[in-house]
Structures are given as structure tokens and as C-alpha cells.
Structure 1
Amino acid sequence: MSVPPRAIQLNEANAFLKKHPEVLYVDLLIADMNGVVRGKRIERTALHKVYEKGINLPASLFALDINGSTVESTGLGL
């Protein structure tokens, strides 16, 4: 029986955090459609929740024009 990939990734993350106790935060990053890096910073103690439940990012991340401005007609921005 094989181990699910998510479990392997969580084990790797836990091993990294154990080896590097000085790491207090983890940055969860994604590039938007224009290549601008966006994301969230979480405390190391919350990392396991990301593997268990995922993480919410704003849908407006995918409603940007070529200048990186929100496309108002999508209703996803401010």
C-alpha cells in the first residue's frame, strides 16, 4: 500500500521544521496572472492545517488586468 503524496509532503515539512527550529513563519506564495507573487505568511504551528484543509486565497487573484489592477466588472475586487 502506498503512502498518499500529501502525507509525504507533510512529513517533509515536519522534518524541515524540526531541523530548523529558528523558522517562525512559513510563506505560502503563488504568482498571479501577471507574475506578481502574492500569498500569506503563517506561523509554523499552522502549517499542518494547510496540508489537512488547504488554504483560502482571494478569488480576485485571478481577476486582474494586464497592469495588475482588479477588473471591477468581475465583482471580485473592492
Structure 2
Amino acid sequence: MPFNFNYKQKSPKRRFLLILGVVTLVCVCTMGIMIMFWDRLDLGLTQTQRIIFGSLFLIYGLIRFSRLFKDNPDDK
């Protein structure tokens, strides 16, 4: 198994943005799940609308998380 010894440690800025991205992912996905399944959260929406709205939150969280791993040419 080949090892990559050219690994460069992430800068503090990139590390902070990764942690912030993970926290954002957890918060947005939790909010989406709460909207979909928590009946006490009264939004005045039908069940179908709640599932659609919560799904949009989940998709948004995943898109934001996937953008963290996009290479930025300015960071090199």
C-alpha cells in the first residue's frame, strides 16, 4: 500500500473553516429533521409541506458541506 508522505498540514484558517462547516452541517440537518418529524413545532404547514421544507434543509446542509472540499487556488 503506497503512502503519501507529501501530506501538508492544513492551515489554521482551513481547519477552522472545516470545523465551522461540520457544525453548520449538524445544525442545519438537525433543523431539517426537527421540521419534518417534531409535531410540537407548530409551523402551520401540512405534513407534506413539512417534509418538503425539511428535505430542503437537509439538501442545503449537504451542499454546503460538500463545498468545503472544493480546492481553492488562492490557498496554495
| TM-score (norm: length of structure 1) | 0.36
Structure showing the higher helix proportion among its residues = 2
| TM-score (norm: length of structure 2) | 0.36
Structure showing the higher strand proportion among its residues = 1
Structure 1 or 2, whichever has the larger Rg, is 2
| Larger relative contact order (CA 8 Å, sep ≥ 6) | 2
